[in-house]
Structure 1
Amino acid sequence: MDAPANPAHGIFERFLRAGECREVLGCFEELCRELGLQGRGLQLYHGLKAALNYWSAKALWSKLDKKAGHKDYDQGTACASTKCLVVGAGPCGLRVAIELALLGAHVVLLEKRDSFSRNNVLHLWPFTIHDLRALGAKKFYGHFCTGTLDHISIRQLQLILLKVALLLGVEVHINVQFNGLIPPEGKAGWCALLQPSSSPLSHYEFDVLISAGGGKFVPEGFKRKEMRGKLAIGITTNFINRHSRAEVEVAEISGVARIYNQKFFQNLYNKTGIDLENIVYYKDDTHYFVMTAKKQSLLKKGVILQDKADIESLLSPENVDRDALLSYAKEAANFSTNYRLPQLEFALNHRGLPDVDMFDFTCMTRSENAALVREHNGARLLLGLVGDCLVEPFWPLGTGVARGFLAAFDAAWMVRRWAAGTPPLEVLAERESIYQHLSQTSPDNTNKNISQYSIDPATRYPNINLKAIKANQVQDLYLVGTVEVDHKRKSDNRLSTVVSRGAYEDLLSWCQASTAGYRGVEVNDFTTSWTSGLALCALIHRFRPDLDPIQTHQMMLDVAEQELGIQPVLSSIEMATMAEPDRLGLITYLSQFYEAFKTSSGVNFGVIYPVLMPHGAALVPLLCKVSRSLTHKRAQVRDPHPHPRDTPNPCPLPHPTYPLSCAVCPQPAARGDSSDECYFCGRRVYIVERASAEGRFFHRGCFQCRQCGATLRLGDYACDERHGHFYCSLHYPNPTGMDPAQDEPPVLPDGVRRVAEEGEEGGSRRKIVLTPLEKLKLSTLNLTSEAEPEPPPKPARLRLQAAPEALPAQWPGQAWEEEEEEEEEMGLDLGEEEKYPTWKRTLTRRGREAQMKRFCKAQAIQRRLEEIEVTFRELEQKGIKLEKLLRDEGGTPADQKTQWMNQLLYLVQKKNSLMSEESDLMIAVQELKLEEQQCQLDQKLRGYMNKEESLKTPEDRAAEQEILVQLLEVVNKRNVLIQIQEEKRLSELQP
């Protein structure tokens, strides 16, 4: 194409294509000089429009005019008299600067660097894609969101937003660092302390400061809080993308997590020694990989030289072998793409080094408030936060840029309200009301009509209450004069609360009132009154007569756990045979019944520790049964010498841990018959740290898979009851190699006709009799909705591609050839006859979107489980200290022991609340595992469905039948989980 005759047109073209920050700024400055334009803000934008009557520019003006015409901006006059300083030219800082410019404000943006060098790639939510397109993103970057996964490199995103900001009149200054605020003196206004101090902006006075400077910089006056999980080490790496055909053919990985796909990560570890929790691969300017690695794997591979307790020291440069890190990252990238990426060569970062980084995201921080106002000498300054300094994102979720943009819109709305003269406390209260929604936002719970999104929060957040927080609740966010900030976090004072009455007396009175009138039951204490088991059975029967528990301790403990979610604290042996049961353990156990039933009893004795009923914990035993059947179903092997409990005349004692030593069954005793001894390590296990499964008691940290050592969770483990061994679902042994579930035919869902039996030599096999349409409906269960039309059969020319053993079958590009689509989108002309039809692309995109949602959900669950684990450890440390104090027979005053008891009971209830949340999360984990299985089977089934019936071999038909059987089983299991959740929801609604 010939260069435009008008020099300004050529400069504008260079501006559009500029790929470096300084180049963009230089081209824009040259363009303004060429056109003789001066000024700032929308005045400059209108001057550009009038002077640059060029076809390439006209399309961009059309988009920006449409954006600027929204009613929220009042034709660019809403904030015409407002002066704003934005700190940081990251995506969020640039985005808020654009909105403030559209409002008509004078906007100055500072950036301490002079280049955009971050190659890392961001996942984009649908609304961010629509928003960027409305700003003309495709005009600046033609490859914007052209693939089947929606993402963009941080560098490209910054370039797009910088160009838009400049066109709208934002003043951008690079190589200038913000170091603080200078309060106004005399008649002057608020200014910034800058480096270099010689910057002309040192005298710029502003009345709004928006910080987008990242998590390490938060203006004085804001309070931060931490969200800490278990040790999490992330690795990012970028390889050069030459856009060759071979590179185009390699499918991206929208994300896969260990929590629902253990097999892939086990294969990776077995073949390479690399142990990961998750991995993502995107193609953009670079081949971008991000993963979470386990510390022991990094130590064994020599990446981390020495194990250190302090995370900062652990990952310090002097403790990391850089070459080993590069090798680790490259090996993980090669394996995850099945070694199909040719000649992996590292891209370089801004320091000219291979772009590989290892970082810690164990602890993430967020601001307790989103805004504040400072006043000095009568001059007010509104301060707001966006981006990482507001909420540090958890990288696998793709929330950083999405919630960052939402926060940018919210901040712009706040400035609009400020400029309109709204009282400061009302502005702050409304901003904090909106901020409450930010951390919970997702594509599923924001408004669906993304084309209507604006800076008005009501267009984005459903049913938002802008007055949820009142003005009198944010008075501490209005700071007058010198700011004195207490950077220490507030301690949890709830444990020091003095209870009006003794918890011991309250609990005993409640137990006596609740068991009164039952024959043979007389509760006088927390020792011998409970040894027969009748008192506990009476207590359950008093409030839940429908449960009809058998009068033995073990059955009672089982009923309490399975129906009420109350985990045992003592074993049935201890409760039945000891003349003096563990009084402290019994009290903490009974306190859970009190919390569960005190509302029903109509009795409240004044105990003021919180009601933290473990609603979800009752699902743990059932979850374990569902978990056992997900991948390795237990073989039914009959013991030739059955235990006496299985005979018509069982042993008079219950047996929670088989085998046990007793008069009838003289097998040697195993660990687990004592509740204060860990079943696995044999060490003391205190009440608050005590966990229980299958009648065994143990430390949570000792609950591990016998084969691989992976930490197990209640609700996601398998138990070999014969030997008392515990396993993860991947390693649960199946001695016979048979699948017991094959004994029963699956129940067909609605719309599928029947299951028939065909006699064969040596037995029978099932045959699923389905029409092609029924098969199609079954195979698209999690890809299309019922309201959508069914796609036509895929052309026979598309052949099945064998999936490598190392990869899950449903990964993009592994089950179907999708090269044509990707090549077309990258600009490679394959000819019309070789291109995929529209319905195929739609299904491919939906499949990948579903995979992305599954991955994000898995990572959110994993992160929350890790935070819960950390909280458990904190509770355990406090609980152990309290238990030791309570068991000390020294001369401690009774009042002091009462206070300790109250604190211990509070810890127990808080632990139970966390267990309830954990069990709810484990339900979601089981759902993800089943969704993953269904997706894999769906991909396999499509391969046979799209093959001409006349071309199918007997082996093809047999394989298709087996896939149908497995798919139906997965559907049935998903239905079971749905039923569990519905029953749980209904039970929680009951008074």
Structure 2
Amino acid sequence: MGETEDERTSQAGQLFENFVQASTCKGTMQAFCILCRQLELDPSNYTDFYHSLKSAVTSWKAKGLWSKLDKRASHKEYMKGKACTDTKCLVIGSGPCGLRTAIELAFLGAKVVVIEKRDTFSRNNVLHLWPYTIHDLRGLGAKKFYGKFCAGSIDHISIRQLQLMLLKIALIVGVEVHVNVEFIKLLEPPEDQPNEGPGWRAEIRPAGHPISDFDFDVVVGADGRRSTLDGFRRKEFRGKLAIAITANFVNRNTTAEAKVEEISGVAFIFNQKFFLDLKEETGIDLENIVYYKDNTHYFVMTAKKQSLLDKGVIIHDYIETERLLSSQNVDQEALLSYAREAADFGTNYQLPSLDYAINHYGQPDVAMFDFTCMYASENAALVRENFRHQLLVALVGDSLLEPFWPMGTGCARGFLAAFDTAWMVRGWAQGRAPLEILAERESIYRLLPQTTPENINKNFDQYTIDPSTRYPNLNANCVRPHQVSSIFNVCPHLCARSADSDVAFFSQELEIRPRQLLSWCQKQTQGYRGVEVTDLTSSWKSGLALCALIHSYRPDLIDFDSLNEADSSRNNQLAFDVAEREFGIQPVTTGAEIAAEREPDKLLMVLYLSKFYEIFYATAVPAAGKLSIPGKISWLVPSQSAAPPAEGGNARENKVRSMATQLLAKFEENAASGEQRRQVGSKEFPQNLGGSDICSFCQKRVYVMERLSAEGHFFHRECFRCSICRCTLRLGGHAFDSEQGKFYCKMHFSQAKVKSKTRRRTVITFDWALLTALILQLLFFNQNFSYRATPQVHRVPFLGCAGLCVSPGPWLGRHAGWATGCVGRRTRLYSTCAITLLYITVIQLQIVLVSMLVCLCIQPQRSSVERQRKRQEKLVQQQARREQLKRLHRAQVIQRQLEEVEEKQRALEEKGVALEKILRGETGDQSSDEHQLLQTWFKLVLEKNKLERYESELMIFAQELELEDTQSQLQRDLRSRMAMDGNTLC
């Protein structure tokens, strides 16, 4: 008898292992059927199935899985599996989000049926996983089903592998899964039997399938963007055209393939040289590229349309995106070649062969699509009631909210929506009022599009289906029950929704009018000598009013008593220079032009003064004369109090401290001389530009609304290009050669033959600053030294880009006083002479200097345990990759947002130019109401200011990311060099 029992146990263990190791959807379903049949288990008995399986399979491998699932099932929200015992749910679609929802509903004790129209999982594309999703999947036993789960340096998994894993878990917890079953529509309960008859059912194909008789109380749509459930209106978000290409190549798992490093992401905003080299060598023009190694070699890239046209991938150029990317307009062979070339170049031609994997259509697995056209459902759920039968309808996954591809949000937000839906079903089963349930669900849904890895709770162990455990700023009552009445009792033929119930977000913007602007200017300049503001034109000619406006908020910037009222040109130019340097307000004309005119142009002054209003509005004058501008980004400023550390410490610390002190003294001397040079006199504008209304590049008329300025030049947006590569430049991201009067992109500035002594001094000063920071970093054994790009834009004569502020942060420990004093007292000097432009020659110099520092100051320390050292190196590498991936996602989003802003600015400029021509009488139209036109003009001005502010902040973020990336690269190089010499850096 004992032997028979052992044999049964062994057989059960082997059958369960076969089920766990199944590698296809069909194989999984077949292994599960065999397991249930041999162990005499009934999958339809969903309430006891898991416990019966657990009792029958007692192998040591299975016990590890049972402990994880038991821990998950112990959450109080599930009420020991009895929270939804009388609830029957239908889930449409077996994608990751549909299966994840089904698992949560099964934990609640509901009867769950999943239908899927396919019988294969063939999606090779790879998903990036947020940290919480990794924690969640590990808690469900992911490593038991897929031993290599998140074992690499980048956290990702193929969709196919994730589906298989979730399918197996769903079957184990009692979910009934049917493949080759297609959902057609919902069937209403019959009218003649309101109480005793069948309830809501589904029309499916094939019609005779047993599931067609299944009555359910809840239906969840998880069948992707082409959701088949009626009653949900969708909002479309379409931005600037962004063409993504995904390609999967066969992974033969050879040694050569294993050595090829994955690409967590290369974005144009970081590595301009990579993409320019790619374009020059292959003709392929990309915005970014990512490479993950999983079951396949997976590449995804964003290609520019013109490059696809030039390479023959797209045959004809159409305005409509659907026609442009239709299969009839795409040369498939050219697309295959395009993706292969990009993959080859991206991996430095290290992959031995790039043979395409085959998709479920039997074709090479490559796809091209526009990922900026995204859909989102206006509501997450609704309730239908026919003949006393109520039905709760919900959406999850892409059916609810399509992800923005560069952020990798699909799976992460999809899982959050699955938990939120399970919470809603729990309330439904417990008898809460339908309107209350819908109002709470819509309140939570408002948070979903805003979620990022940074703004959700970090304690993943506390995560449950209760939204309060996951969203730190949850307001579950922001949508009231009366606001969701339109999605209760919705009939299939009445799907329209009222505009009042739209889920939307509105940002508060300043709403001002010319009269209000004039009144504000009068109030701010009241009492100043020689200033009497009565209008928005002639009152500003002398320049005193502009200087008074600035002085009223920042008296330390302008010595108002020294101004000469008769010197209009100097006064106005001083105000323009100070506003640009201190507040980032671009000039729209020159002081000399205002002095030469009879009175300033009204349209021009309204545009310029509105910028001051929006910066200074509702800001009180601080006692110390320092203005805190609302709406700007706040940055960490080190404490001014400092004291040297206590005497003592080892010789190495004293030696490095002495070097750091000397370098700081040298840096202060260089920076002070730079600051002195910067403050001598005002900016000298070129005298041969033809005036502010003439574009410095094309010599054509530039109207007020479309006017940009930098380094005394005025120009059209499309004319602002690099003198070498002709790529479009953005303000704050350009370099300027004051001797030659040319603008450059960051990459090509170092190639320009600039022989200015000022340039050499400034670059050397930058090296001193960075070397000093690295010395301090090494001194205090820290890897997280902080670099911040200041929001204020400092104009170094040949650079014209944002400054660099070295901030010590909280890592100083017991040395905080001394080091904070050393750095804190120099903060202003750092920000005036340090630069964000990084050239390859400078980076090489930095590496040499750091290497010299390592040789001088760090004694070799051999690791006692080689295994421990390798483990630490792997952990450091993994962390570096994760940080790099975060920066990539942020960079891609910033890059797309900058392009969206640019498109909106161009459209706004077109409207503004047309309106300006009418106001100036250049069109011959005399019938328009001038007052109404001025009001329209002012609205355009406000919109322009808003876009400019947003663009400026995006550029700051981009520069910060660039510095973080460069710092990370320098640290990796430093670690690599030290590892080669056998040194360690704590």
The bucket for the TM-score relative to the shorter chain is 0.7 to 0.9
For the structure 1 residues 464 and 861, does the alpha-carbon distance in structure 2 shift closer, same or farther, using more than 3 Å as the test? Answer: same
Q: Secondary structure of 2:768's partner?
A: coil
Question: For residue 157 of structure 1, what is the amino acid of its counterpart?
Answer: L
In the TM superposition, what is the alpha-carbon distance from 1:13 to its structure 2 partner? 2.9
For the structure 1 residues 531 and 351, does the alpha-carbon distance in structure 2 shift closer, same or farther, using more than 3 Å as the test? Answer: same
Residue of structure 2 equivalent to 1:30: 34
Residue of structure 1 equivalent to 2:822: none
Residue of structure 1 equivalent to 2:711: 694
Aligned partner (choices 160, 164, 174) of residue 165 of structure 2: 160
In the TM superposition, what is the alpha-carbon distance from 1:159 to its structure 2 partner? 0.4
For the structure 1 residues 350 and 488, does the alpha-carbon distance in structure 2 shift closer, same or farther, using more than 3 Å as the test? Answer: farther
Q: Does the alignment pair 1:398 with 2:394?
A: no
Aligned partner (choices 653, 669, 692) of residue 674 of structure 1: 692
Aligned partner (choices 750, 756, 761) of residue 740 of structure 1: 761
Q: Secondary structure of 1:281's partner?
A: strand
Deviations 1:603-640 (A, max 9, x none): xxxxxxxxxx9844999xxxxxxxxxxxxxxxx9xxxx
For the structure 1 residues 937 and 493, does the alpha-carbon distance in structure 2 shift closer, same or farther, using more than 3 Å as the test? Answer: closer
In the TM superposition, what is the alpha-carbon distance from 1:44 to its structure 2 partner? 2.4
- Structure 2, unaligned stretches of length 5 or more? 1-5, 564-569, 622-628, 636-669, 671-676, 788-808, 815-839, 845-864
Q: Is the 8 Å Cα contact of residues 82 and 105 (structure 1) preserved in structure 2?
A: yes
Q: Does the alignment pair 1:260 with 2:267?
A: no
For the structure 1 residues 778 and 385, does the alpha-carbon distance in structure 2 shift closer, same or farther, using more than 3 Å as the test? Answer: closer
Question: For residue 745 of structure 2, what is the amino acid of its counterpart?
Answer: C
In the TM superposition, what is the alpha-carbon distance from 1:5 to its structure 2 partner? 8.6
Deviations 1:579-606 (A, max 9, x none): 254322222322333444453599xxxx
Residue of structure 2 equivalent to 1:605: none
Matches of 1:586 and 1:20, distance apart in 2? 69
Question: For residue 844 of structure 1, what is the amino acid of its counterpart?
Answer: Q
Q: Does the alignment pair 1:589 with 2:593?
A: no
Residue of structure 2 equivalent to 1:555: 574
Q: Where does 1:962-977 land on structure 2 (aligned, <5 Å)?
A: none
Q: Where does 1:243-392 land on structure 2 (aligned, <5 Å)?
A: 243-392=253-402
Deviations 1:122-164 (A, max 9, x none): 1112221221122122222222222222211000000010111
Q: Is the 8 Å Cα contact of residues 110 and 174 (structure 1) preserved in structure 2?
A: yes
Q: Does the alignment pair 1:730 with 2:747?
A: yes
Q: Does the alignment pair 1:129 with 2:134?
A: yes
Matches of 1:753 and 1:25, distance apart in 2? 61
- Which one is further off, 255-264 or 438-447? 438-447
In the TM superposition, what is the alpha-carbon distance from 1:175 to its structure 2 partner? 2.5
Q: Does the alignment pair 1:909 with 2:942?
A: yes
For the structure 1 residues 335 and 426, does the alpha-carbon distance in structure 2 shift closer, same or farther, using more than 3 Å as the test? Answer: same
Question: For residue 138 of structure 1, what is the amino acid of its counterpart?
Answer: K
In the TM superposition, what is the alpha-carbon distance from 1:190 to its structure 2 partner? 2.7
Question: For residue 723 of structure 2, what is the amino acid of its counterpart?
Answer: R
For the structure 1 residues 688 and 47, does the alpha-carbon distance in structure 2 shift closer, same or farther, using more than 3 Å as the test? Answer: farther
Matches of 1:494 and 1:77, distance apart in 2? 41
Aligned partner (choices 478, 485, 500) of residue 496 of structure 2: 485
For the structure 1 residues 697 and 472, does the alpha-carbon distance in structure 2 shift closer, same or farther, using more than 3 Å as the test? Answer: farther
Q: Where does 1:452-851 land on structure 2 (aligned, <5 Å)?
A: 452-481=462-491, 482-485=493-496, 503-548=513-558, 551-599=570-618, 615-616=631-632, 657-658=685-686, 660=687, 669-670=688-689, 673-675=691-693, 677-733=694-750, 734-736=752-754, 739-741=760-762, 743-744=764-765, 746-747=768-769, 774=779, 777=782, 837-851=870-884
Residue of structure 2 equivalent to 1:633: none
Matches of 1:148 and 1:598, distance apart in 2? 48
Q: Secondary structure of 2:301's partner?
A: strand
Q: Secondary structure of 1:937's partner?
A: helix
Q: Is the 8 Å Cα contact of residues 40 and 106 (structure 1) preserved in structure 2?
A: no
Q: Where does 1:863-942 land on structure 2 (aligned, <5 Å)?
A: 863-888=896-921, 896-942=929-975
Matches of 2:813 and 2:252, distance apart in 1? 39
Q: Secondary structure of 1:701's partner?
A: coil
Q: Is the 8 Å Cα contact of residues 83 and 208 (structure 1) preserved in structure 2?
A: yes
Q: Secondary structure of 2:447's partner?
A: helix
Matches of 1:17 and 1:494, distance apart in 2? 50
For the structure 1 residues 459 and 494, does the alpha-carbon distance in structure 2 shift closer, same or farther, using more than 3 Å as the test? Answer: closer
Question: For residue 496 of structure 2, what is the amino acid of its counterpart?
Answer: V
In the TM superposition, what is the alpha-carbon distance from 1:433 to its structure 2 partner? 2.5
For the structure 1 residues 683 and 161, does the alpha-carbon distance in structure 2 shift closer, same or farther, using more than 3 Å as the test? Answer: farther
For the structure 1 residues 316 and 503, does the alpha-carbon distance in structure 2 shift closer, same or farther, using more than 3 Å as the test? Answer: same
Deviations 1:41-68 (A, max 9, x none): 2332233233444444333333222221
Q: Secondary structure of 2:618's partner?
A: helix
For the structure 1 residues 704 and 205, does the alpha-carbon distance in structure 2 shift closer, same or farther, using more than 3 Å as the test? Answer: farther
In the TM superposition, what is the alpha-carbon distance from 1:788 to its structure 2 partner? 12
Question: For residue 181 of structure 1, what is the amino acid of its counterpart?
Answer: L
Q: Is the 8 Å Cα contact of residues 531 and 575 (structure 1) preserved in structure 2?
A: yes
Matches of 1:618 and 1:53, distance apart in 2? 58
For the structure 1 residues 614 and 899, does the alpha-carbon distance in structure 2 shift closer, same or farther, using more than 3 Å as the test? Answer: farther
Deviations 1:235-254 (A, max 9, x none): 11111111111111111111
Q: Does the alignment pair 1:170 with 2:175?
A: yes
Determine which structure has greater relative contact order: mean sequence separation of CA pairs < 8 Å that are 6+ residues apart, divided by chain length.
1
Residue of structure 1 equivalent to 2:68: 63
Question: For residue 913 of structure 1, what is the amino acid of its counterpart?
Answer: K
For the structure 1 residues 380 and 877, does the alpha-carbon distance in structure 2 shift closer, same or farther, using more than 3 Å as the test? Answer: farther
For the structure 1 residues 563 and 317, does the alpha-carbon distance in structure 2 shift closer, same or farther, using more than 3 Å as the test? Answer: same
Question: For residue 699 of structure 1, what is the amino acid of its counterpart?
Answer: H
Q: Does the alignment pair 1:237 with 2:258?
A: no
Deviations 1:771-794 (A, max 9, x none): xx6396469889x995999xxxxx
Q: Secondary structure of 2:143's partner?
A: helix
In the TM superposition, what is the alpha-carbon distance from 1:397 to its structure 2 partner? 2.1
Q: Is the 8 Å Cα contact of residues 616 and 917 (structure 1) preserved in structure 2?
A: no
Matches of 1:336 and 1:410, distance apart in 2? 40
In the TM superposition, what is the alpha-carbon distance from 1:458 to its structure 2 partner? 1.9
Matches of 1:710 and 1:303, distance apart in 2? 23
Question: For residue 20 of structure 1, what is the amino acid of its counterpart?
Answer: T
For the structure 1 residues 893 and 589, does the alpha-carbon distance in structure 2 shift closer, same or farther, using more than 3 Å as the test? Answer: farther
Question: For residue 64 of structure 2, what is the amino acid of its counterpart?
Answer: A
In the TM superposition, what is the alpha-carbon distance from 1:494 to its structure 2 partner? 11
Q: Is the 8 Å Cα contact of residues 123 and 159 (structure 2) preserved in structure 1?
A: yes
For the structure 1 residues 179 and 880, does the alpha-carbon distance in structure 2 shift closer, same or farther, using more than 3 Å as the test? Answer: farther
Question: For residue 285 of structure 1, what is the amino acid of its counterpart?
Answer: N
Deviations 1:924-966 (A, max 9, x none): 21121112212222222223323448xx9xxxxxxx9xxx9xx
Q: RMSD value over aligned CA atoms?
A: 4.0
Q: Secondary structure of 1:439's partner?
A: helix
Q: Secondary structure of 1:41's partner?
A: coil
Deviations 1:740-761 (A, max 9, x none): 345447258999779xxxxxxx
Q: Does the alignment pair 1:226 with 2:236?
A: yes
Question: For residue 753 of structure 2, what is the amino acid of its counterpart?
Answer: P
Q: Is the 8 Å Cα contact of residues 17 and 140 (structure 1) preserved in structure 2?
A: yes
Deviations 1:489-537 (A, max 9, x none): 9999999x999xx944444444445444444444444443333323333
Question: For residue 931 of structure 1, what is the amino acid of its counterpart?
Answer: E
For the structure 1 residues 326 and 539, does the alpha-carbon distance in structure 2 shift closer, same or farther, using more than 3 Å as the test? Answer: same
In the TM superposition, what is the alpha-carbon distance from 1:432 to its structure 2 partner? 2.4
Question: For residue 901 of structure 1, what is the amino acid of its counterpart?
Answer: L
For the structure 1 residues 705 and 196, does the alpha-carbon distance in structure 2 shift closer, same or farther, using more than 3 Å as the test? Answer: farther
Q: Is the 8 Å Cα contact of residues 566 and 617 (structure 1) preserved in structure 2?
A: no
Residue of structure 2 equivalent to 1:968: none
Q: Secondary structure of 2:177's partner?
A: strand
In the TM superposition, what is the alpha-carbon distance from 1:7 to its structure 2 partner? 5.6
Q: Secondary structure of 2:442's partner?
A: helix
Q: Secondary structure of 1:340's partner?
A: coil
For the structure 1 residues 507 and 118, does the alpha-carbon distance in structure 2 shift closer, same or farther, using more than 3 Å as the test? Answer: same
Residue of structure 1 equivalent to 2:792: none
Question: For residue 449 of structure 2, what is the amino acid of its counterpart?
Answer: S
Residue of structure 2 equivalent to 1:957: none
Residue of structure 2 equivalent to 1:814: none
Q: Secondary structure of 1:932's partner?
A: helix
Question: For residue 740 of structure 1, what is the amino acid of its counterpart?
Answer: R
